[in-house]
């Protein structure tokens, strides 16, 4: 097995490790191609943000102007959802989440992602393009471990922000208490029903990390495999080499534009769903004040 530029590969469900334990670098045996990409993307986003804000000018540079546009747009959008009382506490996390997911989604569209790595030539066809076994680069959001980790981190923060904002008593009352301002006999009679509804709510909360992670992972994973299939369609159909090469360039173009849009939408959906969960857990204080 050797390192080659290769035909774009269909992603496997698991992220392959870049180094095996017997390669002499056992201390890197934990490093998968998706973790490698996530480290690179994190470093790039941090560098880009620091570069954009290093020297803030009254007449902003294009980079500063673009950075301020993204931050201001996200701040305005999130403030309308979580409220003024929560935006200062949650904005940095939500903005980081959106930018990281967007950068990860779009990174998967770059040439070489999924098409450079370790592979073998088919037997008896040394001059043909090899088949990929271990891509060097894999979109980090196409790895379920990464999307699940982001969802679990959010749920820990959701619990902390909710409890610190409304208190344990109000949190449990909001979850299991009688709604609608009912008092007296009606409240006592309906208490078991609302308690049962609260149990259902707890179950739905426990499933939130699953739904968040699978939604993002499924869309990105499917999109990457769709692009890979379109790129290799000419080869799979047995077209002449020059026609297959031309088809691998022209056929995927519409799907690239589609994936650009999907990348933005999935980053927005993940961020906005998290913001809505925060709003649902912390907005009842404002309702009581009115």
**3-state secondary structure string, 149-190?**
HHHHHHHHHHHHHHHHHHHHHHHHHHHHCCCCCCCHHHHHHH
Q: Along the chain (290 residues), what's the average pLDDT of each consecutive run of 10 residues?
A: 46 66 62 85 91 82 88 93 91 94 88 66 44 71 89 95 88 76 69 81 90 90 80 73 77 85 92 93 56
Q: How buried is 143 (Cβ within 10 angstroms: 0-12 exposed, 13-18 middle, 19+ buried)?
A: buried
**Cα distances (angstroms) measured from residue 285 to each of 183, 204, 281:** 19, 22, 9
Token output for 168: 């344990």
What does the pLDDT look like over 122-146, one tens digit per residue? Answer: 444 433 444 556 677 788 888 888 8
Q: pTM, whole model, 2 decimals?
A: 0.81
Length of the chain: 290
d(Cα 19, Cα 145) in Å, to the nearest integer? Answer: 18
d(Cα 37, Cα 239) in Å, to the nearest integer? Answer: 34
């Amino acid at each position: 097995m050797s390192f080659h530029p290769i035909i774009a590969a269909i992603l496997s469900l698991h992220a392959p490790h870049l180094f095996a334990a017997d390669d002499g670098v056992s201390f890197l045996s934990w490093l998968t191609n998706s973790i490698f990409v996530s480290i690179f993307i994190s470093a790039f986003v941090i560098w880009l943000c620091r570069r954009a804000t290093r020297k803030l000018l009254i007449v902003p540079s294009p980079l500063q102007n673009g950075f301020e546009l993204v931050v201001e747009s996200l701040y305005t959008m999130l403030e309308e959802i979580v409220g003024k009382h929560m935006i200062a506490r949650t904005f940095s996390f939500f903005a980081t989440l959106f930018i990281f997911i967007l950068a990860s989604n779009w990174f998967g569209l770059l040439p070489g992602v999924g098409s450079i790595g370790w592979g073998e030539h088919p037997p008896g066809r040394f001059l043909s393009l090899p088949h990929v076994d271990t891509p060097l680069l894999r979109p980090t959001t196409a790895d379920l471990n990464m999307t699940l980790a982001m969802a679990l981190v959010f749920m820990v923060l959701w619990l902390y922000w909710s409890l610190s904002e409304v208190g344990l008593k109000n949190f449990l009352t909001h979850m299991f208490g009688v709604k609608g301002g009912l008092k007296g006999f009606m409240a006592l009679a309906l208490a078991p029903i609302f308690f049962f509804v609260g149990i259902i709510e707890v179950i739905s909360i426990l499933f939130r990390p699953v739904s968040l992670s699978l939604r993002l992972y499924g869309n990105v994973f499917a999109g990457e495999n769709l692009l890979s299939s379109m790129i290799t369609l000419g080869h799979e159909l047995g077209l002449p080499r020059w026609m297959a090469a031309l088809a691998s360039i022209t056929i995927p173009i519409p799907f690239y534009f589609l994936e650009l849009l999907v990348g933005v939408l999935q980053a927005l959906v993940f961020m906005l769903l998290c913001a809505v969960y925060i709003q649902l857990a912390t907005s009842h204080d404002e309702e009581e004040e009115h």
